Amino acid sequence: MLCCAVMACKKIDVSFTYAPEAPRAGESVRFSNLSSGGQNWEWTFGDGSSSTLKSPSHVYKKPGTYRVLLKVDNKNGLTATQEVTVYDTIPTFTCPDSMFYIFQDYTFTANLYNPYNYEVEYAWSFPINTEYVRLVDANASLNKSSITVYFEKPMEAAPLFLEVKMNDEITLIEQWFAVQDVSTNSLLIRAADGDYRQRIFGERAEKEKKDADATVMLDLEQDTFQVYNNYWFYLSDLAEVFPGIQGFHIANRKIYYRADGLWVANIDGTNRVQIDSFPCTAMTLDMLDNRIYWADEDGVWYMPFVGSDNNKFVTEPEQLNELPGVTVLSADNNLK
């Protein structure tokens, strides 16, 4: 009986530790119960949350100093307390989009908790010797809180890095994104060194690449006759109205034709305007994107269809590539 009485009166020491020693908001804090006895545990974490696990974990959503209390066996005399200081959250960066596709714009923004208004320095970077990602604005700074980029090729894991310096502490953030391919229309090109398919993505184009299936469509391409509104138009018929005409395409009551350069006119021959004064070696119309593509000695160019009645255009031509010796162009609107 005396032995039992001694055991019943044995003092329970209540204590605990936590890790990490300097937790941040959003980071899991692990509490280790080091008490020498007890059967039941009650934790209060100082932010309104509690737990009855022996050694719980807890996440503080905001920085601050919290008074943590551990009570054993629901006895006021069996308690231990510590103050836990939670520091600013670990910086990260996010994007509104959750799916990523090639040649589309994505904006990434740094997110960090900075209640003391410390000066913050940002440094975005991409892995060295890779060309999978480009800045939308090639002259944009990499030292600001957000950047807008596009990916040039599909990848299972495309990395993006951000270094944040705040209050003399540097944090390196690394995230990886799955970038998917996407269907789009193409421009087929017969150049001096072979046939190419160049996929078009809005204002951008995939780097040119040879593609055997482009050959068939390029062999069928012609700009010497067309059917428009049930009328047949032949090169010989148009030669009197458009002297020196070498080839043409018709769309939206406009005729685009090759002569001493590239021209646009109304289908009745009025309001002729020269688009390009250099010798035009090939041309085609993309009815899906409403664009005209043409080639000269410097490569392939494009611009939107001309919409005004007087055929004056306000959009300057953009260069698609620098392929030499282009003789045939064909727009393939079958999505690839």
CATH number of 160's domain: 2.60.40.1080
**Structural domain contains residue 3:** no
Rounded mean pLDDT, 55-78: 92
Cβ neighbors of 297 (< 8 A, separation 6 or more) are: 278, 279, 281, 324
pLDDT value, residue 24: 84
The overall average pLDDT reported for the chain is 90
- pLDDT of residue 4 exceeding 60, the answer is no
122 has which bridge partners?
164
Q: Is residue 6 part of a domain?
A: no
> Phi and psi dihedrals of 319, rounded to 5?
-90, 130
256 and 289 both lie in a single domain: yes
pTM exceeds 0.85 for this model: no
C-alpha 106, offset from chain centre: 3
Kindly state the average pLDDT of the residues 203-212: 82
Q: What element of type H or E holds 219?
A: helix 214-220
CA angle 135, 139, 144 (to 5 degrees): 75
Mean pLDDT of 284-312: 92
Residue 23 domain boundaries: 12-86
Q: What is the pLDDT of residues 220-236, one digit of tens each?
A: 888 888 888 888 899 99
Q: Which tens digit of pLDDT belongs to each residue from 32-51?
A: 999 999 999 999 999 999 99
What pLDDT does residue 26 have?
A: 82
> Is residue 2, in this structure, part of any structural domain at all?
no
Among candidate residues 86, 103, 131, the one where a domain is terminated? 86
Instruction: Please list the helix, strand and coil fractions of the chain in percent, rounded to the nearest 5, in that order.
Output: 5, 50, 45
Q: Based on the domain organization, do 122 and 159 belong to the same domain? A: yes
pLDDT at position 6: 44
Quick count: other Cβ atoms within 10 Å of Cβ 77? Answer: 10
Omega within 30 of 0 (cis) for the link into 127 = no
How far apart are the C-alpha atoms of 168 and 171, rounded to whole Å? 10
How far is CA 294 from each of CA 88, 223, 227, rounded to the nearest angstrom? 57, 12, 21
pLDDT score, position 89? 72
Does residue 99 sit in the same domain as residue 147? yes
Q: Which residues contact 271 (CB under 8 A, 6 or more apart)?
A: 265, 309, 310, 311
Of residues 30 and 253, the one with the higher pLDDT is: 30
Domain finish residue from 56, 86, 116: 86
The answer to whether residue 198 scores a pLDDT higher than 80 is yes
pLDDT at position 57 over 50: yes
* Residue 9: per-residue pLDDT: 53
Q: Among 120, 149, 180, identify where a domain stops.
A: 180
At residue 129, does pLDDT exceed 70?
no
